A = this chain, B = another copy of it.
Amino acid sequence: MYCLVKSAPLFLAVAVCNGWLFGDFVGKQKELDEIALWPLPQKFQSSAIAFQLSPTRFQIVQAKQSSAGPSCSMLENAFRRYFEYIFGDLKKPEKSRKKVYDSDLVELQVWVTSADPECDGFPSLQTDESYELSVDEPSMTLITRFVWKKLRLANSCDINGNMCKDPPRFEAMAMNKFNVFHWHIVDDHLFPYMSRTFPELSQKGAYHPFTHVYTPSDVKMVIEFARIKDLLTPCYSGSSPSGTFGPVNPILNSSYDFMTQFFKEISTVFPDAYIHLGGDEVDFSCWESNPDIQKCMVQQGFGTDYSKLESFYIQRLLDIVAATKKDYMVWQEVFDNGVKLKDDTVVEVWMGNKMEEELQNVTGAGFTTILSAPWYLDYISYGQDWQHYYKVEPLNFPCTDAQKKLVIGGETCLWGEYVDATNLTPRLWPRASAVAERLWSDKSMTDVDNAYNHLVQHRCRMVKRGIPAEPLFVGHCRQEYKGL
């Protein structure tokens, strides 16, 4: 699974509950640590005034000018949720931290400015997630164009019901300003997507493929189904079929008929503008063993370069998807192999080896790119490995300003081989949070000691809200003393 970062509104109300607001913070590390926002806003100013928020007086409302209106129930739900976050804490006041407040804030006005605030729609690459939060006592005003991103997550739940059964995951995503959950729904070994056009793809899987998918039995049944359909390439051992199967068979028209029907369905089921088509780590050994494929290689003049066959296949696949009016993302190999891509293709750079060169090439060719190479969370190691994730500067490659603009974001990946409900959350958080600040905050934020100080507090905030984010190092959270 993946998470993708760009930017997002609606998160500062919580920070404000500590009685601090933005001010001229440049160089004032101590105060910056006390604010403990994560990821740090691009720009902020504080004042020395300490504001009080009282649960009996404070309210979150839409500003009169706001374009979203009272019918935007997702926004109203967000107000309720954040009110609970803020004042849930204050129900048990912490004795040791009594503060003296200078003033009272009684209202947060949320002003959505776009004529189409996307209240019932879906966010897109063009969605502007920036915001402004300001204080004019006794009110605060939060100005934002759209209602995203939290609401996007709620929406995707409507479509893919069972992905929402772990609400803390999504809460944590919102809390860290991630804005896309990339659901890596199918791969070589399984096909848990339940297709209306091809129901057997998932129904033939063992047990319940939507909830438990990585079983040997699933793999077997999916392969068996694909074989019956002639979708996969039969592998050969010497001159006879070995009984095993490799990648999609690229030399049969039926494979492309299947893809045409299938992506027609996919384009209607998923509202997203982009489909990630994969194309990474294709193993050619099965193709190489198959005499029909060998014959086709000769006919096409590909010699023994099977990456040319792969490109041939991917090319036709991309054309099929393009016909559905969807845009697509691909892994870097598809670009590397010279497949002709639509101008608005997003190329994902995931290989750590020669990453800078690849970024140069992809953006040099005019393609937008998303970088995931330095942020594979499944590679665990002893110690504070969040620092490695934090230190990477995604724009640190020789390029023009235009090329830099083509790097539209990054993605942090937690592949599921060693992960399930027992360890998902502590493995993901707060290590993914390190990537969140790298991708949201100013590039000058490179001091890991400073980052440690506010990430510790952000991690405690997640724990407080029920998300078991693992500790960065020794230490404890203040709330662990509650009631003692």
A423 and B462 CA atoms in complex are apart in Å by 14
Q: Are A468 and B380 closer than 8 Å at their CB atoms? A: no
A381-422 interface bits toward B, Cβ cutoff 8 Å, 1 = contact, 0 = none: 111000000000000000000000000000000001111111
Distance A475 CA – B481 CA, assembled complex (angstroms): 38
Question: Counting CB contacts under 8 A, is A228 at the interface?
Answer: no
Q: Answer yes or no: A474 CB below 8 A from chain B CBs.
A: yes
A382-B378, A484-B208 are contacts. A470–B423 as well, Cβ < 8 Å? Answer: yes
Given contacts A212-B476, A468-B423, contact A381 B380 (CB under 8 A): yes
**How far is the CB of A206 from the nearest CB of chain B, in Å?**
10
Nearest CB in chain B: distance from A214 CB, A: 4
Nearest B residue (CB) for A421: B468
Interface size on A, residues (CB 8 A): 37
Task: Chain B residues near A484: list those with CB within 8 A.
Answer: 207-208, 211
Partner of A212, one of B208, B212, B382, B480: B480
Contacting residues, chain B, for A476 (C-beta < 8 A): 207, 212, 214-215, 420
Minimum Cβ distance to chain B for residue A473 (Å): 6
Report if A183 contacts B (CB, 8 A). Answer: no
User: Is the Cβ of A468 less than 8 Å from the Cβ of B422?
Assistant: yes
A138 CB to nearest chain B CB (Å): 35
| Closest chain B CB from A94 CB (angstroms) | 12
Contact B481 A420 (CB under 8 A): no
Number of copies: 2
A382 and B383 contacting across the interface, CB-CB below 8 Å: no
Verify B422–A475 contact, CB threshold 8 A: no
Q: A420-B470, A463-B422, A481-B207 are in contact. Are A379 and B379 (CB under 8 A)?
A: no
| Residue A23 interfacial (CB < 8 Å) | no
> Please, which residues of chain B bring their CB within 8 A of the CB of A426?
422-423, 426
User: A214 is contacted by which of B214, B380, B474 (Cβ under 8 Å)?
Assistant: B474
Name the residue on B nearest A459 (C-beta).
Answer: B422
Q: Is the CB of B382 within 8 A of A382?
A: no
Q: Is A40 interfacial (CB 8 A cutoff)?
A: no
Binary flags per residue of A194-230, CB closer than 8 Å to B gives 1, else 0: 0000000000000110011011100000000000000
Which residues of chain A have a CB within 8 Å of any CB of chain B? 207-208, 211-212, 214-216, 378-383, 416-423, 425-427, 463, 468-476, 480-481, 484
The 10 A-B pairs with the shortest beta carbon distances in the complex, nearest first, are A214-B474, A423-B426, A422-B468, A423-B470, A212-B476, A422-B426, A420-B471, A208-B484, A379-B382, A422-B470
29 residue pairs A–B, Cβ–Cβ below 8 Å: A207-B476, A207-B484, A208-B481, A211-B481, A212-B480, A214-B474, A214-B475, A214-B476, A215-B476, A216-B475, A379-B382, A380-B382, A381-B381, A381-B382, A416-B474, A417-B473, A417-B474, A418-B470, A418-B471, A419-B470, A419-B471, A422-B425, A422-B426, A422-B469, A423-B426, A423-B427, A423-B468, A423-B470, A426-B426
